[in-house]
Structure 1
Amino acid sequence: MREHHVRSADGTRVLAWQSGSDGPVVLLCPGLGTIPEAWPALLLPDSGVRVLSWYHRGTLGTDRPADESRITLDDHVADALAVLADAGVDRCVVMGWSMGVMVATELATRHPEKVSGLLLAAGVPGDLFGAMLGVLGVPRPVGRALGLGFAKLMGGISPLVDLVLHNVPVNRVTATLLQHSGFMLPGASDPDEVAKAVRRFVGQDADWYVRLALAVADVPQRDLTGVGVPVTVLAGRYDVLADPEQAVAAVACLPHARTRVVPTSHFIPLEAPGVVVEELAELVRRVAAVERARSDTLTRGSRPRA
């Protein structure tokens, strides 16, 4: 994996990363504050794709913007465009996980020429907090209120949160406990892989993390009717952060969407890494077929009539 800085539209220095694998390019819109280790299967040489991604503003090596209000959905989309431009990629498959689903679908809606396909994992295209606790039968307005209230509470006591998280040992034992907590479930990943994914995550600034989350809290549900590329949705059956029913319903209007509900929590990349690779490979094949058909149609249309 290689990391390097790129400049976003407002001048913010964003730390981008890319895998060393060969294959079609895939842009990964990350979950909030997550790291490459959260996607162990995509970092392997045989993943079949070359992944481009970045770290969110103010986290893990990416600078905070000079204007600290520049952490809206617009700014995340601008960072995605900067990563693509730096890599010289005009169009590719785009993935999103958790909050990254909002970024991926917004990119596809605003810049359809950049997106050839979408894989949306454990997330919804809008109303981020409204998707919380739905799997437990909590009504959407109540789930939203509880989610927002919890986030604001964490922001209010962020020094205490930092004191705890920055000093908790992250090892195989604590990773195993986390996997059996209900928030995360035992899955295909070894506890050591989970520990790698968690270790840098818990070292972040809790106050800034909450500010990032709250900055996209008012983004409403998005209508994806106009998305005209192949789409795959992966939803976790036991996901308390992104209701699987809402995730699937978001693409019900798309005749070309494929949905798959897997027996995981919110952490699909860690608990079902094989499914991620499998579904991504299938999506890449679907996209290639659509792109060939589109190219053939354009070629036929450009031929002079007899």
Structure 2
Amino acid sequence: MTERFSHLVRGSGPGLLLAHGAGGSVEANFGPILDDLARTHTVVGPDYPGTGATPRSRRPLDLDEMADSLVATAVDAGVDRFTVLGYSLGTAVAVRAATRHPDRVTGLVLTAGFARLSNQMRLAVGVWRELLEAGNPELLAKYMTFVATGRDFLNALSRPEVDAALAGLVVPPGTPDQVDLVAAVDTRADLALVTAPTLVIGTRQDLLAPLDLQRELAAGIPGAEYVEIESGHLMQIEARDDWLAHIRKFLERDPS
């Protein structure tokens, strides 16, 4: 039986389903734009296993099951058709949802995404996973701040602001499982099968999901629109307004 995720529902209007990143949550990854999106759309935001109120999985996460559960959560919430807004790992979940449920997915917006891991990304994700096991939260916070934050934004912070960012790192209990799923992602065969209108938003200063992988993702989806913003992996903090503007422009054509 397809699992349903704990989720939030906000707003009214066409459906918009959120797919967050590994080690994130709906609030952490989409919180800065949730109210804006809910002004024009019915936003459904599920949390993955081990995040928020969704229990941690007792077995390895599977991309097909994640996509099915994401869609089922939206349908159970009364939203039958929707654009999927995916971030990081959520872009792979969104692509798989679009190919497995083309009758429900009317559009895709994919930010800081990837269809596979390059050697560079595999090493970055591997260190992330090892640090989760090492039991050194301070070192984990330093690594994640370095790899996820764009150079311009990070270098503009004061020392106290950097210290506050390090202290503020939250690691949901399901993060190791979600990072393992990142390491297994390969949706290259799915890309040509995507029929929904798609916008891919690249993050130019991204060290975690390098820009070449984001461009490759866009190139693989027929007719995908591609834009870039000046940001690292944390565009919801670094370039919130630019990110939202591109999403809004796409959603104005939302056929849901």
User: Structures share a fold, TM > 0.5?
Assistant: yes
2:123 maps to 1:151: no
Rounded Cα–Cα distance in structure 2 between residues aligned with 1:146 and 1:229: 32
Partner of 2:224: 257
2:43 maps to 1:51: yes
Query: CA-to-partner distance for each residue in 1:60-100, whole Å, 9 max, x for gaps?
Result: 221123xx114221221132022112112221111100000
| Greater RCO (Cα-Cα under 8 Å, separation 6 or more) | 2
Contact kept in structure 2, 1:234 and 1:259, CA below 8 Å = yes
2:158 maps to 1:202: no
Contact kept in structure 1, 2:20 and 2:29, CA below 8 Å = no
SS in 2 for 1:33: coil
Letter in structure 2 aligned against 1:211: D
Matched residue pairs, number?
241
SS in 2 for 1:27: strand
2:46 maps to 1:78: no
| RMSD of aligned Cα (Å) | 3.0
Structure showing greater Rg: 1
Contact kept in structure 2, 1:92 and 1:117, CA below 8 Å = yes
Letter in structure 1 aligned against 2:44: L
Q: Pick from 186, 192, 195 the counterpart of residue 220 of structure 1.
A: 186
Contact kept in structure 2, 1:33 and 1:55, CA below 8 Å = no
Partner of 2:136: 160
Query: CA-to-partner distance for each residue in 1:6-62, whole Å, 9 max, x for gaps?
Result: xx715xx6311123x333220011112323143212224774323211111022221
Q: How does 1:174-213 map to 2 (within 5 A)?
A: 183-185=148-150, 186=153, 199=168, 202-205=170-173, 208-213=174-179
Q: CA deviation at 1:145?
A: 4.5
2:243 maps to 1:276: yes
Unaligned runs of 5+ in 2: 155-159
Percent of paired sites with the same residue: 27
Q: TM-score, normalised by structure 1?
A: 0.69
Unaligned runs of 5+ in 1: 1-7, 131-139, 169-173, 292-306
Rounded Cα–Cα distance in structure 1 between residues aligned with 2:79 and 2:38: 21
Rounded Cα–Cα distance in structure 2 between residues aligned with 1:156 and 1:46: 37
Partner of 1:9: 2
2:205 maps to 1:238: yes
